[in-house]
């Protein structure tokens, strides 16, 4: 049974976000002490309003209109108007898991006392999550500052009893109907609450959370796939000797080398060509695995560090402090998240590009050191896995076009008040597409490498590669049969890609 998630604004983890996003049965609760502190913060805001202090977004307009003072009897209307006017998203809808992740992050940020909202608003978000009411949120329309305004506004609309939610049949239904069915009363936003809700990086950070988790799974799977290719190509593990990597101690490089030695341990294939192999060195796509895959791991860890900080940070504006100060700043700016997403995109493209080069070596008889052309007996009459390499090349080519950083592509908005924005959601969508491509390229390598291992029988590979081979052949898993005659690779590739994405080929238990 999954553990409940307890939100306190300070300790939310990436794994918890992923769990809550993908498993609606997980219970989410709020920390009483954090709620009490939030109530005290809210009292400071209400006192400031009563004192007639001018506070951005509480009794003023927004953005370019910040110099417009709003009458006291219109402060609630100001927040409602903000949400309605900013729900300007377009395009396809965000997946359920992404929207759920956004709501978890939003609740965790709002419960921090710097938000100055009423505890009831955080409880309203939790009510949606625990009832699995998922707002319909269009993908496009956020530039990542001042926060993810449009996506968060579409969620806020549902809290008000407006907007639409995702129906169980895949369509949409009115938000009011979903709230009524769950016996949840619509909530009217009070002063500051609309701005606090929509002013933050939670949409781009939600996607980063899911991607960082999935990229870690993919990295380990890709390392196992690479080890299988090295065995099929009868490469040497000598370049993974820890002394080499101690001489250049990048953390990821050392971890990758250590994991590769573990995966390749106890290999009959290696023993069979240990003494009489005329080759002195393998190609870079085998020999330099620790250096390249290590750099990819370090990039994933960088993105993870950014994500961990962002999960438990105050990203709305203005912020309320315990001495009563209400300060305007720019914590809503998504530049740290956007840059992490761009870096992740580059790293995942690097990984799949190197993977494709090993696929080429596996299917090319001039490079495969004795394997039949395209990994099929009687090549010529049969084409084997010729097209698998071409498919991988197409995926890598697409990913390369997506590596241009979004975070340097600012277009000024809001009458030039918001004159430098990070385009974090564009970075997120590119990273997500590149991750999916990378999962399929790794699936293609697994398909070819396991066939290469098949053709070397009765010799057995290292224990980690044996484990991967068994998982691939498992009737309860991908159930990929050896290739003895031509068949369409597409179904096998898709089954393997799903297994890669689901973590079914992740050797984490061996490492």
Active site residue ranges: 56
The helix (run of H) or strand (run of E) holding residue 7 is strand 5-7
DSSP letters along 365-398, please?
A: TTTSSSPPGGG-SSBTTB-TTHHHHHHHHHHHHH
Residues 6+ apart with CB under 8 A from 305: none
CB atoms within 10 A of CB 487: 11
Listed residue (320, 306, 326) closest to 422, CA to CA: 306
Dihedral sign computed on CA atoms, order 55, 60, 66, 69: negative
Beta bridge partners of 29: 6
Residues 6+ apart with CB under 8 A from 26: 2, 3, 4, 5, 19, 20
Which contacts (CB < 8 Å, 24+ apart) does range 417-422 have?
417/63, 417/64, 417/66, 418/63, 418/143, 418/145, 418/146, 420/145, 421/143, 421/144, 421/145, 421/333, 422/143, 422/144, 422/145, 422/333, 422/334, 422/335, 422/337, 422/338, 422/339
CB atoms within 10 A of CB 428: 32
DSSP state of 142: -
Structural contact between residues 168 and 133, judged by C-beta atoms closer than 8 angstroms: no
């Amino acid at each position: 049974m999954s553990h409940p998630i307890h939100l306190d604004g300070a300790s939310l983890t990436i794994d918890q976000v992923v769990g809550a996003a993908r498993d609606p049965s997980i219970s989410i609760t709020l920390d009483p002490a954090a709620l009490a502190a939030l109530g005290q913060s809210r009292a400071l805001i209400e006192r400031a309003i009563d004192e007639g202090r001018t506070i951005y977004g509480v009794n003023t307009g927004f953005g370019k209109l910040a110099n417009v003072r709003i009458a006291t009897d219109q402060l609630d209307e100001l927040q409602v108007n903000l949400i309605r006017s900013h729900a300007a998203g377009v395009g396809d809808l965000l997946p359920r898991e992404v929207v759920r992740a956004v709501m978890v992050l939003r609740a965790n940020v709002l419960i921090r006392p710097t938000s100055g909202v009423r505890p009831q608003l955080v409880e309203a978000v939790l009510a949606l999550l625990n009832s699995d009411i998922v707002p319909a949120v269009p993908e496009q329309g956020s530039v990542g500052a001042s926060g993810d305004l449009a996506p968060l506004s579409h969620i806020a609309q549902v809290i008000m009893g407006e907007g639409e939610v995702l129906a169980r049949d895949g369509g949409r239904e009115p938000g009011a109907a979903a709230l009524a069915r769950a016996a949840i009363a619509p909530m009217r936003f009070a002063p500051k609450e609309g701005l606090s809700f929509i002013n933050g990086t939670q949409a781009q950070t939600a996607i980063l959370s899911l991607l960082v988790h999935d990229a870690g799974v993919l990295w380990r799977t890709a390392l196992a796939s690479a080890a299988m290719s090295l065995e099929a190509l009868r490469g040497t593990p000598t370049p993974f000797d820890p002394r080499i990597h101690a001489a250049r101690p990048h953390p990821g490089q050392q971890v990758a080398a250590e994991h590769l030695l573990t995966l390749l341990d106890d290999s009959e294939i290696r023993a069979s060509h240990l003494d009489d192999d005329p080759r002195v060195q393998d190609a870079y796509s085998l020999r330099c695995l620790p250096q390249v895959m290590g750099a990819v791991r370090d990039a994933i860890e960088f993105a993870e560090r950014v994500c961990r900080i962002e999960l438990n940070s105050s990203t709305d504006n203005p912020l309320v402090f315990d001495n009563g100060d209400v300060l305007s700043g720019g914590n809503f700016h998504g530049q740290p998240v956007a840059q992490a997403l761009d870096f992740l995109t580059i790293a995942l493209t690097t990984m799949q590009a190197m993977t494709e080069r090993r696929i080429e070596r596996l299917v090319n008889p001039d490079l495969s050191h004795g394997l039949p052309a395209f990994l099929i007996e009687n090549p010529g009459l049969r084409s084997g896995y010729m097209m698998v390499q071409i498919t991988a090349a197409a995926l890598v080519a697409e990913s390369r076009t997506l590596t241009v950083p979004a975070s340097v592509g600012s277009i000024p908005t809001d009458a030039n008040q918001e004159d430098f924005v990070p385009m974090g959601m564009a970075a997120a969508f590119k990273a997500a597409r590149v991750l999916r491509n990378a999962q399929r390229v790794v699936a293609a390598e697994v398909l070819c490498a396991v066939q290469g291992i098949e053709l070397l029988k009765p010799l057995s590979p290292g224990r980690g590669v044996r484990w991967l081979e068994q998982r691939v052949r498992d009737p309860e898993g991908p159930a990929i049969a050896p290739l003895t005659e031509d068949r369409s690779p597409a179904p096998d590739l898709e089954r393997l890609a799903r297994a890669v994405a689901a973590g079914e080929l992740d050797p984490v238990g061996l490492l």
